[in-house]
Structure 1
Amino acid sequence: MGWVLIVLMAALVFVALWRFGRFDKAALQFLGAALLIALAGYAWQGRPGLEGKPVPPPVREKLPDTAFAEVRGDMLGEFDVAAHWLTIADSYHRRGDTLNAAGVIGSALREHPNNADLWVGLGNALVLHADGMMTPAAELAFQHAAAIAPDHPGPKFFYGLALAQGGKFDEAEAIWRNILATAPPGVSWRPMIEERLMMLDQARAMGMVP
């Protein structure tokens, strides 16, 4: 069947060129020689009787959850509009697709431009896309979140977390200590910040953090 199709296609090409083309006899002879070489190559290498074996796409190893994904539920909540979109972005992060993770949150912000949690998520996504660097766009996203919800600790806490991931431990520590200084003593997220400050102190004592 493969040979029949090839011969039929070759015949159609010759007829079309002869009827509608502007090729002279020498050009047609050259084209004929090229087609004969192609047929010879098929006869030599072609295996039309072999069963088809589609190659599956490579399986990507899933990445662990980001620090933001691990604690955002405790600080921002888990059952609102922002949590839905941030969960989708987390799935892209686990695949290593940081570009689409930021794009998903950007799409959500077009529908909910005044959602502080989404702006926090965008800032975090932009930091991850920049390999841990605090870019001007990411910093602007964190600042916008803080402006929308000035009394909420989430934007400041995650801004500090992003700074720490980029190696700016002193700035992160200053932000976290300022949050604790104004936080009620029994608030649920207070131990989370205290734990990170303790880990930072231990890392300094061991010489792991300057």
Structure 2
Amino acid sequence: MIWLVVIALAALAFAAGVVLFRIEKGLWSSLLAALAVGLAGYALQASPGLPSAPKVAGEDRSNPLFDVVEVRRDLLAKDEHSRADFIVTADALAREGRYEQAAQLLASVTRKNPQDFEAWIAEGNALVEHADGVLTVPALYAYRQAAELKPRHLAPNYFLGVALIRQGRFAEARQVWADSLAAAPEGATGREIVAQQLERLDAMLTAVSQQMEQERSAAAESGVPAAPSAPVSPASSAP
């Protein structure tokens, strides 16, 4: 039920932009893309079915990397966790929003030990956050180094997919997650996490596609030109 409300609000936002604010037809695709990004964020972060709970003292969940640190730990088996002392310090810096310092500290860890799987992932995450969610070349390099160490592991590609989604590259993110799940062995650590997020992404993409199809049908019946389609089909693949 909550999805119906969210989609209805997105449709109202689009209608308001076109009717009330008279956004030019050439900008409709940009508006749809912006709404799709918002829906993607909701699909991946919201948990409307969970009951509310009091805030635990000392936690600062306003920082987006707080959850990233926790998810990273959850995606790794205990024997895969880094033994570098500096990674704890880097996580603390990241939780404070000091991403550049965290990335520099993690870079020193990976230079000293290029086989440190978790440090490469943490470095990629810190670099993405330092770039305000942009998947930079250094961040992609860090993820790829982790993937080379453990080609069938889910963690590097999970965070790569998150970074792609934050840039609106939904089809590429979906392909990365789907391929990663297909390659991972049964019972792999974090498999449930990635599968759940892929399911949420598919639900969001399907909902957006259905909403756009309804808008096109309604526009065709009324004789009003339909808005151009945004490339968000769940069946799309990375170029």
* Residues 157 and 176, structure 1, Cα contact 8 Å, conserved in 2: yes
Provide the secondary structure at the position in 2 that maps to 1:81: coil
**Residue identity in the other structure for 1:64:** N
Structure 1 residues not aligned, in runs of 5+: 1-60
- Pairwise CA distance, 1:118: 1.2
Which of structure 1's runs of 4+ aligned residues deviate more than 4 A?
Answer: none
Question: Residues of 2 paired with 1:183 and 1:74: CA distance?
Answer: 16
Provide the secondary structure at the position in 2 that maps to 1:207: helix
Aligned to 1:68: 68
Provide the secondary structure at the position in 1 that maps to 2:75: helix
Provide the secondary structure at the position in 2 that maps to 1:96: coil
* Residues 160 and 173, structure 1, Cα contact 8 Å, conserved in 2: yes
Aligned to 2:200: 199
User: Could you tell me the percent identity over the aligned residues?
Assistant: 34
* Residues 120 and 141, structure 1, Cα contact 8 Å, conserved in 2: yes
Mapping of residues 10-159 of structure 1, within 5 Å: 63-66=62-65, 67-77=67-77, 80-82=81-83, 84-159=85-160
Question: Residues of 2 paired with 1:90 and 1:138: CA distance?
Answer: 16
Q: Which has the higher contact order (CA 8 A, sep 6+)?
A: 2
Question: Residues of 2 paired with 1:203 and 1:68: CA distance?
Answer: 21
Question: Residues of 2 paired with 1:185 and 1:151: CA distance?
Answer: 11
* Residues 82 and 118, structure 1, Cα contact 8 Å, conserved in 2: no
User: How many matched pairs?
Assistant: 150
Compared CA separation, residues 82 and 201, structure 1 to 2 (3 A): farther
Question: Residues of 1 paired with 2:85 and 2:168: CA distance?
Answer: 30
Provide the secondary structure at the position in 1 that maps to 2:135: coil
TM-score in terms of structure 2 length = 0.55
* Residues 146 and 155, structure 1, Cα contact 8 Å, conserved in 2: yes
Question: Residues of 2 paired with 1:93 and 1:166: CA distance?
Answer: 21
- Pairwise CA distance, 1:88: 2.1
The structure that has the greater radius of gyration is 1
